[in-house]
Amino acid sequence: MALRPAALTTSLLLAALLAACAGGPAGQPAARIAPETPPAPSAQVATLAPQANNLDATAWMQTSAEYRAAVAGSYALARQQLDAALADPAWDALPPEERAAIRPATGLPPAIVTDADETLIDNSPFQARRIASGAQGFDYAAWEAWVNEAAARPLPGALAFARYAASRGVVIYYVTNRDAPGELEATIANLRAAGFPVAEDASNVMLRGDARAPDREKGERRRWIGERHRVVLMLGDNLGDFVDGINTDRAGREALVDAHAARWGTQWIMLPNPAYGSWEAALMRDCATPEDATRCKRDGLRTE
């Protein structure tokens, strides 16, 4: 994807802004690009073109008032719905098919099931560093280095909501697809450093590969929690934070959303994340052939 000339200046400006926002380890100042002579336009295009989409997404998440408002609004809604859930003993946010496979929720203590990355904590500095350095694609070693810094900060409203839930006697389970055991200790340290309620034994932190429920998808972990709790709310930034079976085409994913239409904004709170997610794989799957690519381009650039 080549950048249009009119977009080049904006992209360079965003890259510089992101470098300033990328930050270093906790307690250290943000990294900045040194004011050097810029390369020739052709070199600028070659450097920025592969990252253009992620650049816009990350810049929006780091700098826009709209993103801050959307996230803060999501947590205001979550607090309102938590109060409603605690007032209604029949309220259960676990997917019906998952609840049907385990014990009924009646009489169980309340719990929240929430994702961590881009739901409670902000990893956009990691994205920004990758963009500012010219790196392309996902690099697991770079990601692990970021995780081990334990420096991700709370998203707007997330910490206040989590503390409010804890004050109401609700256990918060952090169900994330970070990898156990390698990323477990750093994730626990990050959540604690940010101020989120973490049990003394960290039993409410459940990463992918957790010995209690090792399946790759999150449904097994949700069912493990559901055996012990009435799930009053679920929060996430990815469809798989709420239901399994998401690794399908776009039509299948839309059907999953529609099948649970009554839960969105009531028992399930979806946070915005344009930077990455399972939607990317669905798009690539749908656009695999030249014919599909033509259709996808048309569908993705609607003008009506």
Is residue 48 very low, low, confident or very high in pLDDT (cuts 50, 70, 90)? very low
On whether the CB atoms of residues 46 and 83 are closer than 8 A, the answer is no
Check residue 35 and give left, alpha or beta (phi > 0: left; psi -120 to 50: alpha): beta
Q: Which residue has the tokens 């307690």?
A: 27
Is residue 273 very low, low, confident or very high in pLDDT (cuts 50, 70, 90)? very high
Q: Looking at the predicted structure, is the pLDDT value of residue 258 above 50? A: yes
* Average pLDDT value for the chain: 85
Q: What's the token pair of residue 38?
A: 């810029």
Instruction: Give the whole-number percent of the chain exceeding pLDDT 90.
Output: 73
Q: Looking at the predicted structure, is the pLDDT value of residue 206 above 80? A: yes
What is the reported pLDDT for 90? Answer: 97
Interval 1-24: pLDDT, tens: 333 333 333 444 555 555 555 554
Concatenated DSSP letters of 146-169: HHHHT-PEEPTTHHHHHHHHHHTT
CATH of 68-120+155-304, one of 3.40.50.1000, 3.20.20.70, 3.30.1360.120, 3.90.1150.10: 3.40.50.1000
User: What does the pLDDT average to over 61-71?
Assistant: 98
* Integer CA distances (angstroms), 120 to 41, 61, 162, 220, 272, in order: 39, 14, 9, 21, 12
What is the reported pLDDT for 157? Answer: 98
Specify the pTM.
Answer: 0.83
Helix then strand then coil, % of the chain, to nearest 5: 50, 10, 40
Q: How far apart are CA 292 and CA 249, in angstroms?
A: 12
* Residues near 177 by beta carbon (within 8 Å), at least 6 away in sequence: 207, 208, 216, 218, 240
Q: Looking at the predicted structure, is the pLDDT value of residue 26 above 60? A: no
What is the reported pLDDT for 282? Answer: 86
Q: Looking at the predicted structure, is the pLDDT value of residue 81 above 70? A: yes
Q: Looking at the predicted structure, is the pLDDT value of residue 190 above 80? A: yes
Q: What's the token pair of residue 188?
A: 């626990």
* Integer CA distances (angstroms), 207 to 33, 39, 199, in order: 35, 43, 15
Q: Looking at the predicted structure, is the pLDDT value of residue 263 above 90? A: yes
User: What DSSP designation does 4 have?
Assistant: P
**What is the domain partition of the chain in residue ranges?**
1-22+43-63+124-151, 68-120+155-304
CA angle at residue 1 from 67 to 37, to 5 degrees? 80
Residues in the chain: 304
Interval 98-111: pLDDT, tens: 999 999 999 999 99
On whether the CB atoms of residues 167 and 209 are closer than 8 A, the answer is no
Tell me which of 134 and 284 has the higher pLDDT. 134
Tell me which of 3 and 244 has the higher pLDDT. 244
Q: Looking at the predicted structure, is the pLDDT value of residue 303 above 50? A: no
Q: How far apart are CA 146 and CA 123, in angstroms?
A: 9
CA angle at residue 230 from 99 to 112, to 5 degrees? 110
Is residue 192 very low, low, confident or very high in pLDDT (cuts 50, 70, 90)? very high
**DSSP-based three-state secondary structure for 66:** helix
Half-sphere exposure of 251 (CA within 13 A, CB side): 3
What is the reported pLDDT for 300? Answer: 60
Instruction: Name the least confident of 162-166, 204-208, 252-256, 289-293.
Output: 289-293
